[in-house]
Each structure stands twice: as structure tokens, then as C-alpha cells.
Amino acid sequence: MPPAAASTEVTSSSADVQRRHNEGHGRRLTAAFEALEAFPALAESRNRLLRVVRQERISTGEVVAAVESDVALVISVLRLGNQVEGKSRGKVESVVQAVDLLSPEAVQALATRARTFDFFERSSVWDAAPERFRLHGVATQRAADRLATEAGYEDRDRLMVTALLHDIGKLVLMHAYPGYPGQVHGNARTPEERIHRERRELGVDHALVGGVLARRWGLPKAVASVIERHHADDAQGEAAFVRLADMLAHYSQGSAVSPTELLKCARTIGLGPSELRAVMYDLPYPTTGRTRQIDPCPLSGRELEVLKRLAEGKVYKQIALELSLSTSTVRTHLHNIYGKLGAVDRAQAVLIATERGWL
């Protein structure tokens, strides 16, 4: 056989091997994408959501909080919300928007149908993966919320979704490659080292795969792109918030992180060393940060002003003087406030308004 022909045959053979290799990767990932359709919710999260939606007076804020505590519930509610016909179809970026669109009956039906897992009854398909995944997702979500408070980031509703779902690509890789993550990551210590190992060993990384999965689910581009870019060196905006929150979650769970990368990413979202130190100090403690106002406030502007002063411990005469009202008018406002909030005294009224984010 002439040398040129032999060379052509070797090249063709190598191309066939590479093509089969790529097809194998594609089949594995496609099967894993389909398997994620059955990813379970934590049984306790599902049960809490059912209790909330079955109450006589349903609070949107409580429904949102129950959904946002669980990866599978967030995915299901967002997917359903993005399928609703109308101007918002395919544009629902947060659980708040989805819950506003869906009826309590729809959310209840979704929760009732949800597959569940329990720490004491592990699934043969996913084993301990849902527990580990949820713990890191919630830790990242908490860190992102703390960063949003520190940096004054306003789009917290969407950030709660992207922070919780940022690692969904890991679930795909876990299902597609039985040796993942241990064999792929090896002795890699930091998030940056692990992402480089994934690219080298698999040709893709979990962030890219997560973005593809989010798009397959019909989630908005803004959500998918944050998931896809949360490990990018040049991440900006919400992707940078999630990248930093991910590093802080690893830090708070005792894993190694790069101080240089932490500070570099913090500066991208406008935080310096002193602000970053404050966030890192706060993370182990169960702080809720600034309460999000989700439920519509039933109080008028004047009633809210009265309640704010009541929360400061001021008496009727002080409130009347500051607002140029008579004492009897202040009493009338308070009577109306108690009625609208279902409160029996000032302490309960202040507590309800604070918990709902109105004060």
C-alpha cells in the first residue's frame, strides 16, 4: 500500500474513533438529561409545601419559601410557570413569578405528584446524591442572599433560583459517568481545579451541561446563562454573585477555596476585603438578612407610617405629633391595621409586618 494511502487510512480510522467517542458522550448525556425528569424532592420539603397550600389563608411568601427550599420543587414550579399561556410564557425567572401565575390548586397537585427521597430511605438510583446536592445548593443560596444584602443587589428573587440550581449539571454528569466526581476530580482541591479536571477528562464541565439542561427544561435565558457561566473566569453580574456564593458555600462547609479567586470575584460585584470578611464571618450563623416583600401589603401608606413608628416603641401622642394627626386618628389607624393583619395587639402587628417584609 502506498504511504499516502496508509496515511489516509490511519487518519480516517482516528476520525471514526473520535466520532464514536463523541456519539457515546452524547448518548450518555441524553440519557442523563432524561433521568433528571425523575429527580426527587426532599419528603419534608414536599410535605411542608402541602401544609402551606392547604391553609385557609394562603401566604404567597410562605409558598415561595417552601418551594425555594428544594431543588426538585423549584424546577417543577418554574417549568410549569413557564408553560402558562400568555405574555410571560418562557419568561418566568423566579419562584415568586411562578407562584403568582399558578393557582394554589396547581401547586398542590404538583407537590402531590412529586417523587420524594428521605435521608433514611435512600433511592437505589440516586443514593445520597439528593442530600449532598440540596445541602450545597441551600448553602450557596444562603451565601448569595447575604452577598445580595451586602452589595445592594435587587434581583434577589431570581438569584434564589440560580444559586440553588447552579450545580444541576453535576447531577447529569453523576448519572452519565459512574466515576464522577471522585475519579474525574482526583486530588483537585478548589472549585477552579475541579472544573479544569472536568474539561480535561470529559470535554465538558458541569456548568456548561447545567446550562444546556436548563434550556431543555424551557427555563428563561437569563437563568440558563447564569448557571452556564457561574465558573467562568470573566463572570459578571449575577453569574459572579453565584460564583462567589459557591466558593463561600464550600468555605463554610470546610472545603478548600482560593483566597485570590475569592477576592477577585468579590471585587467584580463591588465588594472589597472588609465587606468580604464581614460576609465570611456571618455565614456560619443562621441570619436571614433583609426580608423579601413577596405578599402584597394590605396597609395604606399612612397606616404603614403609623406602624413603623409603633415598631420603634413610640406612643400615640408621639406618632400623632410626628404625622400631624390627632390621637384619635392614630387610634383609628391602629384599629384598621389590626383588622387588616389579623393581629390582636401592637406586638403581633409589628411581628406580622416584619416577617412579611413590609417594615
Per DSSP, the three-state class of 186 is: coil
CB 220 within 8 A of CB 159: no
pLDDT at position 214: 96
> For 154-301, where are the E strands, in sequence order?
none
Cell numbers linked to 197: 479536571
**What is the C-alpha separation between 160 and 154, in angstroms, rounded?**
11
Residue 291 lies in a domain: no
CATH number for 308: 1.10.10.10
Measured distance between the N- and C-terminal CA atoms of the chain, rounded to whole angstroms: 85
Residue 306's domain spans which residues? 301-356
Q: How far is CA 69 from CA 96, 110, 133, 348, 359, in A?
A: 13, 15, 12, 26, 24
Inter-helix orientation angle 221-229/237-252, to 10°: 50
Q: Which three cell numbers stand for residue 111?
A: 407537590
Instruction: Identify whether residues 277 and 215 lie together within a single domain.
Output: yes
Last residue of a domain, which of 117, 142, 157?
117
Give the pLDDT confidence score for residue 9 in this predicted structure. 54
What pLDDT does residue 317 have? Answer: 86
Distance CA 230, CA 71 (A): 17
pLDDT of res. 117: 87
pLDDT of residue 339: 86
Angle at which helix 156-165 crosses helix 129-151, to 10 degrees, equals 150
In this structure, the chain runs to a length of 359
pLDDT for the residue numbered 186 = 92
Tell me, yes or no, whether 278 lies in a domain. Answer: yes
Residue 55 lies inside a defined structural domain of this protein: yes
- Domain boundary (117, 150, 178) is at 117
Q: Domain check: are 152 and 217 in the same one?
A: yes
C-alpha cell at 278: 464581614
The sign of the CA dihedral 83, 242, 52, 128 is: positive
Query: Does residue 252 share a domain with residue 109?
Result: no
Please report the pLDDT score of residue 17 as a whole number: 45
- From first to last of the 359 residues of the chain, give the pLDDT tens digit: 555 555 555 455 555 545 555 566 778 899 999 988 888 999 999 999 999 999 888 888 889 989 998 999 999 999 999 999 999 999 999 999 999 999 999 999 999 999 998 877 766 666 767 888 888 999 999 999 999 989 999 899 999 999 999 999 999 999 999 889 999 999 999 999 999 999 999 999 999 999 999 999 999 999 999 999 999 999 999 999 999 999 999 998 888 999 999 999 999 999 999 999 999 988 877 555 556 667 778 888 888 888 888 887 788 888 888 888 888 888 888 888 888 888 777 777 887 787 777 87
Query: How many domains is the chain built from?
Result: 3
Helix axes 129-151, 168-176, angle to 10 degrees: 160
Q: CATH no. for residue 157?
A: 1.10.3210.10
The whole-number pLDDT of residue 320 equals 87
Give residue 324's Cα distance to chain centre: 45
Please indicate, yes or no, whether residues 106 and 138 belong to a single structural domain of this protein.
no
> Which residue among 117, 147, 178 closes a domain?
117
Q: Would you state the torsion angle of the CA atoms of residues 224, 164, 351, 338, taken in this order, to the nearest 10 degrees?
A: 40
- The SS3 of residue 86 is coil
